Amino acid sequence: MVSIKEVARHAGVAISTVSKVLNGYPNISEDTREKVQQAIKELNYIPNSIAAALSSKQFGRVALVLNLERQTQAIDQIFMQYLAGALDTARHRNIEVVTIFTTMLEGMSAEEVTRYFMSQSISGVIIYGLSKEDKVMQQLLKEQNFAFVVVDAPIVNARTSSISIDHEQAQYDVAKKTILDDKCKQVLYIAGRKDGYVTEQRIRGMKRLVEELKLTMMVRHGDFSELAARNIALEYAEDTDVVVCASDLMAIGAMNALIDMDIFRPVCGFDGITLMGYVGKQMNTIRQDFYGISSRAVEEIQRIMNGGDGQQIVMPHSIVKMYYQDIIC
Amino acid sequence: MVSIKEVARHAGVAISTVSKVLNGYPNISEDTREKVQQAIKELNYIPNSIAAALSSKQFGRVALVLNLERQTQAIDQIFMQYLAGALDTARHRNIEVVTIFTTMLEGMSAEEVTRYFMSQSISGVIIYGLSKEDKVMQQLLKEQNFAFVVVDAPIVNARTSSISIDHEQAQYDVAKKTILDDKCKQVLYIAGRKDGYVTEQRIRGMKRLVEELKLTMMVRHGDFSELAARNIALEYAEDTDVVVCASDLMAIGAMNALIDMDIFRPVCGFDGITLMGYVGKQMNTIRQDFYGISSRAVEEIQRIMNGGDGQQIVMPHSIVKMYYQDIIC
DNA sequence: CTGTTAGCGCGTTCAA
DNA sequence: TTGAACGCGCTAACAG
């Protein structure tokens, strides 16, 4: 492997001069700059980013921590988008990224995870799909040994930023559109897991809407499970005008239940995943730009790693109507 | 950040002694070993893996290159399983891994990609979803500058191993089971993309079966697209007894077509993705252990990085019958 | 504008 | 069995 030293010798300059050219420092004459570039080309020199990191003490790698839920495999699409957004942006900004699934961290204490991160020179962590019950991550967030960005969880402190759409408003918007289109009065709301961060926010959105439009609402927790939503719909949908679901997957479950019951009710979902198209019906849903959120998260983690304060970031959302043709064309 | 130097001072020994203890060298007295361990604990010392890599010149990171297709978003599940398998195993074996999407490499020449990999100290590459048309990757494979493991493509050379199930046999197996169950004679086979590596292998499996059971077969290319498969089924399914598809997604398209046509034909798929359950019907499909394949791929890349020769690895497959209840419970 | 020097944190001889 | 010394490839003062 050809090193900076050989380049320097070949170009007849000092090592540091080569380094300066490499890193675009000022105060280098056009003349020597070209000589160095020439030598680099001729020797096919490739800088060693590891050595550079060690020397500059600019470690600062970023861990992408993905908390995959067992039951919702079908929505891997969301995590894939998150990954794509983060990896693309990190590459663009020259940030080293380590992909980590929480399954790999199972059985480790907060301290062990900290040590692991540190040994990997990780100084920033982006968490996707954080659960309230994840004691270890909660502990890490409290200790503030790293810079954090938490996606879809409203945690903010000196070293932690939160990023997500406005779930309260989004749930309000999509339900309102669905309800007004069909002049509904009685709402069945199938919410997410009781301990989920976004669950409460979305319920608040629904309550605001119910008050505003003078509706009645029944709330049941479907735990983001298709089957649970299906059973809830089977039990309660008949007596209501519309079924609002806190996730696309639950909307699909509810829709299937309605088909089995042979009754029609408007249904709306939340996420905008491709899978929605496979049910063959059309539904309103909230579209989130997962790629963009994750891309933004990387920019934000960099800011915090550089000493910036944690803050809350709200991303825009939109309502889309998804149906079969949208998907397969 | 506490370094090895401080540990040495704290323990009253030399730096090299600490290093030896750390790396489990022999010829260290039990006495000093304990002293060092003690100091490590007290100072909460965390080894810096980057510096260790630089010093030992043991870089050897592994790139996971994921070639995501635009049209098949619904099967992100497969890539997620691949990722999980590779990441888990890499962590277990203490191999550094870099996750890369081919979209990040678009517009780069083979040489640029080589330089990029080298600057990242990447010496092994695992490729998922390789396309025959990917000139850059094909070039890299030819140049053999890195160790390679290619998943689902039959490429083997001195520095490249191939790993996959036996697609010929798997296609044969699942079709045979489906056909024998219903005593079919006329087969509609919806194959994958014409230039796909696995497409030919699976067609061979079908041909063998057709000969053996004295069937007639019509082959059409559905390009792994749900819509294309749907259209093919609409056009030809009526005149056949059974529809065999080279992917689950196409099986879903065919199944939906059959429902629209209001006729019944047994359908079988290939992949075993969760999504299969959402069509609400039961189908045979090939189940691949994506996690296990990827895990094995990491072991293999390590072997090749250590100088082993490329080889072909065949993983086992199985047939499963998937239906709604399997998925949501 | 350029070169010299001193590390970054660690692994690895080679003497002692 | 231990430790001093060197070097991995590079960056960052500082001096010239």
Q: Which CATH architecture has domain A167-288?
A: 3-Layer(aba) Sandwich (3.40)
Answer whether any strand D atom is within 7 A of the Cβ of A6: no
Q: Report chain C positions within 7 A of protein CB atoms.
A: 1-13
The answer to whether A256 contacts B100, with C-beta atoms less than 8 Å apart, is no
Average model confidence (pLDDT) for chain B? Answer: 88
CB of B59 lies under 7 Å from some atom of strand C: no
Nearest to A278 among B91, B252, B328 (CB): B252
pLDDT score for B74:
55
Mean pLDDT of A195-202: 90
The answer to whether B47 CB sits below 7 Å from nucleic acid chain C is yes
Kind plus residue range of the DSSP H or E element containing A42: helix A30-43
**Which chain B residues touch A56 with a CB distance below 8 Å?**
none
Instruction: Give the amino acid at B59.
Output: F
B57: pLDDT strictly greater than 80: no
- Collect all residues of chain A within an 8 Å Cβ-Cβ radius of residue B280: 256
Task: Give the list of residues 6+ apart from residue A121 with CB closer than 8 angstroms, or none.
Answer: A53, A59, A60, A61, B48, B49, B50
Percent of chain A at pLDDT > 90 equals: 53
A210-224 pLDDT tens trace: 999 999 999 999 998
Q: Per DSSP, which regions of chain A are E strands?
A: 61-66, 97-101, 122-128, 147-151, 160-165, 186-191, 216-221, 242-245, 267-268, 283-287, 312-315, 318-322
The CA–CA distances, whole Å, from B324 to A74, A210, A267, B260 equal: 13, 34, 20, 19
pLDDT at A44 over 90: no
Calculate ∠ Cα A286-A291-A292, nearest 5°.
Answer: 85
pLDDT digits (tens, 9 = 90+) for B161-216: 999 999 999 999 999 999 998 788 999 999 998 888 899 999 999 999 999 999 99
Interatomic CA distance for residues B118 and A13, integer angstroms: 24
What separation in angstroms does the CA of B67 have from each of B64, B104, B119, B132, B234? 10, 10, 21, 12, 31
Domain A50-164+292-315 carries which CATH code? 3.40.50.2300
Q: Average the pLDDT over B66-90 and give the result.
A: 82
Mean pLDDT of chain A: 88
Residue B321, exposed/middle/buried by CB under 10 A (0-12, 13-18, 19+)?
middle
The answer to whether A83 contacts B101, with C-beta atoms less than 8 Å apart, is yes
CA angle B135, B138, B141 (to 5 degrees): 150
Mean pLDDT of B48-67: 85
What per-residue confidence (pLDDT) applies to B71? 54
| Residue B272 falls in which region: left (phi positive, over 0), alpha (psi -120 to 50) or beta | left
Nucleotide nearest to B20 (CA to C1'): C11
Nearest CA in chain A to B1: A118
Nucleotide with C1' nearest the B31 CA: D1
Distance from CA of B243 to the nearest CA of A (A): 20
C-alpha to C-alpha distance for A47 and B121, rounded to whole angstroms: 10
pLDDT digits (tens, 9 = 90+) for B148-169: 999 999 999 999 999 999 999 9
Coarse DSSP helix, strand, coil percentages of chain A, rounded to the nearest 5 percent:
50, 20, 30
Q: Three-class SS of residue A244?
A: strand
SS (H, E, C) B276-321: HHHHCCCEEEEECCHHHHHHHHHHHHHHHHCCCCCCEEEECCEEEE
Nucleotide nearest to B1 (CA to C1'): C9
A1-45 CATH fold: 434 Repressor (Amino-terminal Domain) (1.10.260)
Return the pLDDT at A278: 58
Average of per-residue pLDDT across B281-304: 92
Please tell me whether any atom of strand D lies within 7 Å of the Cβ of A43.
no
A59 touches strand D (CB under 7 A): no
The arithmetic mean of pLDDT across residues A143-149, rounded, is 95
Nearest nt by C1' to B4 Cα:
C9
Residues of A in contact with B76 (CB under 8 A): 76-77, 79-80
Q: Residue B48 and residue A119: Cβ atoms within 8 Å?
A: yes
- Is A76 in Cβ contact with B77 (below 8 Å)? yes
Question: Nearest Cα to A243, choosing from A259, A227, A266?
Answer: A266
Among A23-27, A74-78, B52-56, B290-294, name the most confident range.
B290-294
How far apart CA A53 and CA A45 sit, in angstroms, is 18
pLDDT over 70 (residue B276): no
**B20 CB-to-strand C distance under 7 Å:** yes
B247 CB-near residues (< 8 Å, 6+ apart): B75, B192, B222, B224, B269, B270, B271
Residue B60 falls in which region: left (phi positive, over 0), alpha (psi -120 to 50) or beta:
left
Closest by CA to A172, choosing from A205, A221, A197, is A205
Contact B279 A275 (CB under 8 A): no
In a mutational test of the B interface, the residue from A278, A290, A326 whose CB has the highest number of chain B CBs within 10 Å is A278
Domains A50-164+292-315 and A167-288 fall in the same CATH topology: yes
- If we measure between CA atoms, which residue out of B192, B201, B147 comes closest to residue B172? B201
User: Minimal Cα distance from B66: which residue of A?
Assistant: A84
Q: Over the stretch B24-53, which tens digit does the pLDDT of each residue have?
A: 887 888 888 888 888 888 888 888 888 888
Nearest protein residue to C2's C1' (by CA)? A17
Residues in chain B: 329
The closest of B279, A280, B129 to B269, measured between CA atoms, is B279
Question: Do A101 and B88 lie within an 8 Å CB cutoff?
Answer: yes
**């065949």: which residue's tokens?**
B314
Residue B325 has pLDDT above 50, yes or no: no
User: Which of B46, B51, B118 lies closest to A54 in CB terms?
Assistant: B51
At A82, the amino acid letter reads: Y
Residue closest to D7 C1′ by Cα: B55
Domain ranges of chain A: 1-45, 50-164+292-315, 167-288
Buried b (16+ CB within 10 A) or exposed e, B33-64: bebbeebbeeeebbbbebbbbbeeeebbbbbb
Cα distance between residue A224 and residue A252, in whole Å: 11
